[in-house]
Each structure stands twice: as structure tokens, then as C-alpha cells.
Amino acid sequence: MHDRNLTPLGRLTVLKTILLPQLNHIFASLPNPSDSQLKDLESCFFTFVMGNSNFRVKKDVFTKNYNKGGLKKVSLKEFIMSLKLMSMKKMVIRNDCLLLMLNLDIIKLCIYHRENQIYQY
């Protein structure tokens, strides 16, 4: 077997294209993980992407766009939020009666993100 050493950008691509899609159904169907669980997952992802290389990036720079010097990593909290919002959108489009049974945490997060203008349209 050939030993393949991926760059941090290559490992980030693996994270985005293989690992995160495996977690889609789990995050979309289960309640939101706690902040400590999210922090642990983010730490695992950061360790995976950075590997044993000497190349170091601050975690806050890690999620920025390429033109701002970042690696455009997906924020897990925002990723989970977008999955939940997409399921809400599908329910609204279908006029599903389950819309009345929405989790209040989702609504609170939507209001929080709207007030703090985290998402740019």
C-alpha cells in the first residue's frame, strides 16, 4: 500500500465530503447536541484536519473564507442549524401539521441568529 499524506486542505475536503454527510441524518433527526459535545466534535475535526503537520491555524480563522486567509471549514453549530431549518422549510412547504410540534430550541436559535446577523444573504 502507498502511504498518502494529505495536506490540511485535502483532509478538510475529506471531512466535508465524506464525514459530514454521514452525520446528516443523525443531526437532523436527533435533538441538538450539548455545547460540550459540539466542542469535542470540533476538536476532533480540527485534530484530523491539522494532523501531525507543523502548519498551524487558529480555530477562529479556520472557518473564514479563503479570501480572508481561512480554510472555509464548516461550523458544526451552523451546520446543524441549517439542517434543522431545512426540515422546517420542507414542513412549511408541505403544510404539514407537525409544524405545530416544533422544538422551541430551533425557534430560539433562529431568533438569536437573526438578531446577531450571523448569516449573510
pLDDT in tens, 7-19: 888 888 899 899 9
Please, what sign has the CA dihedral across residues 110, 111, 115, 116?
Answer: negative
pLDDT in tens, 60-86: 777 888 888 777 888 888 888 888 888
At residue 108, the pLDDT reads: 63
Go through the chain and tell me how many residues it has. 121
The rounded distance, in Å, linking the Cα atoms of 105 and 111 is 10
At residue 110, the pLDDT reads: 64
**Whose CA is closest to 50, among 13, 8, 17?**
8
Torsion, Cα 18 20 24 30, to 10 degrees, reads 140
Residue 89, pLDDT above cutoff 50:
yes
What's the mean pLDDT in 2-31?
A: 85
